[in-house]
Amino acid sequence: MIAKMNNNLVLLVEDNVDDVTLTEMAFKKGRLGGKLAVVVDGQEALDFLFYQGKYKHRTPIENPALILLDLKLPLVSGLEVLKEIRAEKSTSQIPVVVLTSSIEEKDRTDSYTLGANDFITKPTGYSHFIELIQQVKAKWLV
């Protein structure tokens, strides 16, 4: 069964507190709608998406409409999370934007090979980050 997606929920998979804060600010400032759920490591992302652990009571209707995925995560890497997302029928159609500080071409290639919809290197600076998040929301949520 393919789960329905919550058209205004974005799952942010990010372990850097500063980047989480910037993303939350961009969501508020952008006024494009949408709720932001935040998980801080790869295992928590998998638990969230596959209704395990503390997320076992979530329902399929609560699946995100978009996943913003960092690559360098504790416990389970972002690439492994992406692989699991694409392997499972209930999550395989959710757009995944890799949002990372990595500038490695291998990370970009591996992300696209595993099914990422987009690969974006995080900009430095508050205003550029806010602008980027607004562009991502406009492209993938509207």
Coil, strand or helix at 59: coil
**Residue range 83-127, pLDDT digits in tens:** 999 999 989 999 999 999 888 999 999 999 999 999 999 888 888
What whole-number distance in Å separates Cα of residue 16 and Cα of residue 12? 11
Q: Where does the pLDDT of residue 1 fall: very low under 50, low under 70, confident under 90, or very high at 90 and above?
A: very low
Which of 2, 20, 89 is CA-nearest to residue 28? Answer: 20
Domain range for residue 74?
5-141
Task: Give the lowest-confidence range in 5-9, 76-80, 83-87, 133-137.
Answer: 5-9
- CA atoms within 13 Å, Cβ hemisphere of 14: 23
What is the reported pTM?
A: 0.89
Chain mean position to CA 41: 11
Amino acid identity of residue 47, one-letter, is: D
Number of domains in the chain: 1
- Output the domain CATH number for residue 59: 3.40.50.2300
